[in-house]
Structure 1
Amino acid sequence: MKRGIVIHSPRSGRSAQLNQALEALQQNNIDVVDHFPITELDTLPKQGQKWQEEGIELVIAAGGDGLVGGVTAHLVNTQLPLGIIPLGTANDVARTVGIPIDPVRAAEVVATGIIKKIDLGVAQPAEQQPHPTENIVIPPQEKMYFTHALTVGLNVAFARLATNRDIRQQFGPMTYPVAVMEAVRNYSPINVVIQLKGVAYHPTPGAPLEIYSKPVMLRCRAAQATVVNAPIFWGMLQATVPGVSLQDRLLDVVVVEDISLDQLMFRVARFFTRQDHQPPNEQSWHAQYPELLAAELTDVPGIHHFKAKSVTIDVEGAPHDATLDGEVRGQTPIFARVADENISLIVPATATIQ
């Protein structure tokens, strides 16, 4: 039997499914020597090396994307693989790699799956645990890893509502729709200044990607800026950003410019439902950004999509909160890059990781 520990969310409200998963892990020869909420780690230094020295052979995150990101921070620079029991609401990282949403089947994957190395993003400054208010001062040298995405803008208001304990208790499975409607109702655009380094571009159509040698700047009035590591969004709807890879050593940057709400929803839906890249042409709306035209990966008006090694997002005026893996953990200006480290993730034996 392999010795493992299970780290779960203190607020998932899915204790019955957690117990199912714990039992299924034992039945699949995983000796769960301990399980505890991630809040027990909030004030501790990174624990991965300590767990490894104690004979732990794998760590299992039983929760959603925010929990997965929080656990990941403890495992970098160790040999410990990460298993996922998706007990969150969206579970976008699990869906990206094909881990079943059913906790018993997910436990079977932890026991019988294969290990794949995947990229991580790292953000600075950021916090290990979510912060509860907009006025917190973040230590300038702190950093945090993310497995799914970093966002600034509209999604922050949604995340703040969707992770609120009182709202979860009041609305239960309707929490996400309620949070979306409330976030949209109070939507306010932001003036973003985005600096990209290591931008990937096609020198000619169909040619292999090359990397710009100098930084590129984008300034616009935006609804949202997102730095993407894993491509699936919106849970069971499985909206996918085309072309995102977990192993390409690049981050995908998606910027949605400010437009009317009805057009905003239409264009975002069009962007997510494409099956592949549709780069713009020189006559398109994107031509007003000539430096970025060769790097653009979408032809949807009002939306930019680039690949880059790093990005700095700032908002004119006061600092704005940023989410990492769906939880508020940082503020602008915030810097994100591909982490030097990667993570060993346990995925189904049939999974194909791009």
Structure 2
Amino acid sequence: MPGKRRAIVIHSPHSGRAPQLEEALKLLQEADIELVRVEPITNLNELPSQGSTWLAQGIDLAIAAGGDGLVGGMIRHVIKEGPPLAILPLGTANDTARSLAIPQDLPGAVEVIVGGQEAAIDVGMALPAEASSPASGPGDEEAASDYFCHTLTIGLNVEFARLATSSEMRERFGAMTYPLAALEALRAHEPLEVVLDFEEPSGSLAAQQQCQGQAQAVAELRYQVLQVAVINAPVFGGPLQLSIPGASVTDHLLDIVVVQGLDWKEIASAIGQLFAGGESEQSEAGEGATGHPAELTALPGLHHWRASGVTISTPAGPCEATLDGEVKGKTPITVRIAPERLRVLVPTTWQAQTAETGT
């Protein structure tokens, strides 16, 4: 884009690589990007969408300098009206940035901001189940919804996120915060009963159901689980670069993964097979762990579906959910692909994988 870019930089003081913010800002200025404002994400917490305001101020780029939670928190400000989003991966895992092939080193990330291409990607939208009922209008949904780019979780990861994002715990334990939070979450967590009600599937799921003579809508399912993850961006595990085969940020579908087993060796093996592409597609006869026509995996203790949306409820009472690692929302909750797409800067070599072709 010709001319000098004018950017607002939104950062998180508590992100994993927050001490590198000053270095990142210097690199941006050296790349001839005018930094109009630099603000912590907390300044935006109580404000309505700021995208149109930023455009009116001549800002043509919004930079998220932080991790997955910060990127998720920026979506509502730019998705409907606002400048494109750029990412400086200053978080701990940076799975959203990894899903978009954005380099983890700061010079490489700045190079994408300066010379990358603009892509339109899917984002997830979460809203209270009552706001998604037929009696609700689009305005009701918009007012009640929140967004995520990477994943929404219910169960084990919620307690982990509560501990891992605690500023007190981060200040006390530093780099050991994540492993200690994981151990404490595992120690305290108990299985949770969830009910999954899928919105109509599309693509391969719809074709699979039709060839089996099944109804188009996927039936309600009930499980005792450790965790439910509704996934938009496919990369997990930070530097481990684990990825769900066939998942994409441009396929208009969500990957729903339920971890059900109680045997930790079995769970670890199943998750490893899922990320390695070892899950077994259901046969045309509907064989597999559950025999459910929409299920993509037959791995013990783990279930995987792909659909445009799902409503999750917990019969024992409301349970909290995390969106991109931040504790937001409670069950019952409806999760679907947002009607709008997020404009984000990615490397010129980036090409989204598609679930249909696997390319």
> What CA distance in whole angstroms lies between the structure 2 residues aligned with 1:212 and 1:338?
22
Contact 1:61 / 1:82 at 8 angstroms: preserved in 2?
yes
> What CA distance in whole angstroms lies between the structure 2 residues aligned with 1:284 and 1:44?
48
Match of 1:254 in 2: 257
Amino acid at match of 2:159: A
> What CA distance in whole angstroms lies between the structure 1 residues aligned with 2:215 and 2:157?
29
Amino acid at match of 2:196: I
In structure 2, the CA distance between the partners of 1:141 and 1:188, relative to structure 1 (3 Å rule), is farther
Contact 2:191 / 2:225 at 8 angstroms: preserved in 1?
yes
Match of 1:156 in 2: 158
1:202 Cα deviation after fit: 5.8
Match of 1:300 in 2: 299
> What CA distance in whole angstroms lies between the structure 1 residues aligned with 2:117 and 2:61?
13
Of 85, 88, 109, which aligns to 1:85? 88
Amino acid at match of 2:69: G
- Count matched residues: 334
> How high is the sequence identity, in percent, across the aligned residues?
45
> What CA distance in whole angstroms lies between the structure 2 residues aligned with 1:140 and 1:23?
37
> What CA distance in whole angstroms lies between the structure 1 residues aligned with 2:337 and 2:345?
20
Superposition RMSD on alpha carbons, in Å? 2.3
1:175 Cα deviation after fit: 1.6
Match of 2:338 in 1: 339
Amino acid at match of 1:184: L
1:100 aligns with 2:103: yes
Contact 1:227 / 1:251 at 8 angstroms: preserved in 2?
yes
Of 227, 245, 254, which aligns to 1:224? 227
Of 240, 245, 266, which aligns to 1:242? 245
Match of 1:280 in 2: 282
1:32 aligns with 2:35: yes
1:256 Cα deviation after fit: 1.5
Contact 2:16 / 2:92 at 8 angstroms: preserved in 1?
no
> What CA distance in whole angstroms lies between the structure 1 residues aligned with 2:304 and 2:120?
25
> What CA distance in whole angstroms lies between the structure 2 residues aligned with 1:211 and 1:18?
53
1:219 Cα deviation after fit: 0.5
1:144 Cα deviation after fit: 0.5
In structure 2, the CA distance between the partners of 1:308 and 1:350, relative to structure 1 (3 Å rule), is same
> What CA distance in whole angstroms lies between the structure 2 residues aligned with 1:113 and 1:79?
18
> What CA distance in whole angstroms lies between the structure 2 residues aligned with 1:185 and 1:140?
38
Q: Deviations over 1:163-193 (max 9, x none)?
A: 1112212221222111111111122110000
Contact 2:261 / 2:300 at 8 angstroms: preserved in 1?
no
Match of 1:193 in 2: 195
- Compute the TM-score of the two structures, normalised by the length of structure 1: 0.89
Which shifted more, 251-260 or 66-75? 251-260
1:263 Cα deviation after fit: 2.1
Match of 1:131 in 2: none
Of 146, 169, 178, which aligns to 2:148? 146
1:4 aligns with 2:3: no
Amino acid at match of 1:59: A
Partner of 1:284: helix, strand, or coil?
A: coil
Q: Deviations over 1:35-69 (max 9, x none)?
A: 01000011111100110111110100000000000
In structure 2, the CA distance between the partners of 1:247 and 1:227, relative to structure 1 (3 Å rule), is same
> What CA distance in whole angstroms lies between the structure 1 residues aligned with 2:215 and 2:100?
30
The answer for unaligned runs of 5 or more in structure 2 is 130-140, 354-359
> What CA distance in whole angstroms lies between the structure 2 residues aligned with 1:69 and 1:232?
15
